[in-house]
Chain A
């Protein structure tokens, strides 16, 4: 098992967002986390990546407890995150934004400046621009490339389609098969259920901080997803 959360509780000072979440990711697998706004999807990503700390045993990476580790150490173990809202560094050029992804961990794998430019050719043209001068879609490409630069064995993508036009979302998701071909596991957090069901091997649905449904996309009925998503009995 590459990654496992075991009864994960997490939240902020006076606000709990996750109540005993169990998810598992196999090496090379693509897992989608779906759920409505406020279901706890982003909190789950933040807890796995170490931005939010939890008890050591609540997050296991290759069987090793990492729940208590801060983000830099989690990253150096090979878990890279594409954060919600892209979060490029405005003081850095596109190329510097990419380079900083590999600064503390280069890993073993195909990803380097050249291969990221091949994945997203437009970034080569814009390499000297400030990261924040790019369009939303291009910024998302930089954010994904930046996370890939460390050659992670697990890539966490938090709401990578948020605020982008459908045609741009299609371009971004077109890169996913090539990312997975290198053997990396991917967790995508998505509000767009159709997109999630298309790309994922397995889906978890979160509602109010709990897993309400899990399974392979083909095995899940529309009605079951609707119930798990909204909590109603449609």
Chain B
């Protein structure tokens, strides 16, 4: 019974990692940009939600509705004014710029919010749980997983069934020819990063209500996000969810064996998948 519980907790934790990873996967899929500041942007969004909750006295759920458009705008501007200038045949400049952004963000957050660890207050649901058969599952972890599924459903719908998604895929295939179709790749990239930042805001809500956070935890979230994307295979959002679940289950199982093994077990699972399937479990055919 304990094992069943451990695995269930791991699956739900995987939802959080999938939320971390989806924005990263979206941006990489459309513009082949690896955003090393992704984890720090999640932490930034968590502080933004915290700020809205504290200043306006809103519930965290309503605060997300305020923070998401702000993060969208921030992502849009970041792409339009910074990242679009460094995207090109050479993959090094965007890596350097986002690495620098990561350090700058961490220090700005440290300056603005101090090194104290904080938490988004969520008294209504913090300890709530529901009994599912023999298991007791937390309401917040269930909502996290549900949100991950919902985010992926909506993103897939956008990507495969709307003109915007068509433009995303065309630009990802061939930006020069997309330009000949009247589509400005720089505008598409800005929209994609804006959209990724909306997902980041949702991820930040669950990051900040689940446990304490401080300005320095971004890079570790980036690692989990990377691992989920790579395990799942580049280009498949459902693969990313499964990648997150494998990572989550590995971590909770490791922790059940010995609390010191939680993080290590996740890394070992990641390396094991890489050994067996170097391109991940569900790689896109034409990449």
Listed in ascending order, the chain A residues whose CB lies under 8 Å from chain B are 49-51, 70-72, 75-76, 80-81, 83, 87, 89-92, 96, 99-101, 103-105, 146, 150
- Contact in complex: A51, B180 (CB < 8 Å): yes
List the B side residues contacting A76 at CB < 8 Å: 182
Q: Given known contacts A71-B180, A103-B183, is B166 in contact with A87 (CB within 8 Å)?
A: no
Bound Cα distance A70, B181 (Å)? 12
Known interface pairs A89-B173, A90-B173; A103-B179 also in contact (CB < 8 Å) = no
Task: Say yes or no: A91-B182 contact (C-beta < 8 A), given A83-B177, A103-B163.
Answer: no
The residues in B between 163 and 203 inclusive whose CB is less than 8 angstroms from any CB of A are: 163, 166-167, 169-170, 172-174, 176-184
B173: chain A residues within 8 A (beta carbon): 89-92
CA distance A94 to B189 in the complex (A): 24
Which single residue of chain A is at the shortest CB-CB distance from B235? A91
Closest CB of chain B to A54's CB: distance in Å? Answer: 16
The answer on a CB contact under 8 Å between A91 and B181 is: no
Residue of A89, A92, A96, A105 ringed by the most chain B CB atoms within 10 A: A89
Contact check, B166 vs A71: say whether CB atoms are below 8 A apart.
Answer: no
Most buried by A among B176, B182, B286: B182
Instruction: Assess the A100–B286 pair: CB atoms within 8 A.
Output: no
CA A83 – CA B174 in complex, angstroms? Answer: 12
Least distance between A14 CB and chain B CB atoms (Å): 15
Q: Please report the C-alpha to C-alpha distance between residue A226 and residue B104 in the assembled complex, in whole angstroms.
A: 64
CA distance A53 to B163 in the complex (A): 28
Chain B residues whose CB sits within 8 angstroms of the CB of A81 once the complex forms: 180
Using C-beta atoms within 8 Å of the partner chain, give the interface range for chain B.
10 to 19
* Chain B residues within 8 Å of A, Cβ to Cβ: 163, 166-167, 169-170, 172-174, 176-184, 286
Chain B residues whose C-beta falls within 8 Å of the C-beta of A99 in the assembled complex: 163, 166
Nearest Cβ on chain A to B233's Cβ, whole angstroms: 16
Which of A49, A92, A96, A103 is in CB contact (< 8 Å) with B180? A49
Of the A-B pairs whose beta carbons lie under 8 Å apart in the complex, a sample of 29, sorted by A's number, is A49-B180, A70-B184, A72-B179, A72-B181, A72-B182, A75-B181, A75-B182, A76-B182, A83-B177, A87-B174, A89-B169, A89-B170, A89-B178, A90-B286, A91-B169, A91-B170, A91-B172, A91-B173, A92-B166, A92-B169, A96-B166, A100-B178, A100-B181, A101-B181, A103-B166, A103-B167, A103-B183, A104-B183, A146-B181
Complex Cα gap A103–B170 (Å): 12
Nearest chain A CB to B191's CB is how many angstroms away? 14
Cα of A146 to Cα of B173 in the assembled complex, Å: 16
Residue of A whose beta carbon sits closest to that of B284: A91
A residues near B177, Cβ cutoff 8 Å: 83, 87, 89
Chain B residues with CB under 8 A of A51: 176, 179-180
**CB distance B167 to A100 under 8 Å?**
yes
Residues on A with C-beta less than 8 A from B183 are: 72, 100, 103-104
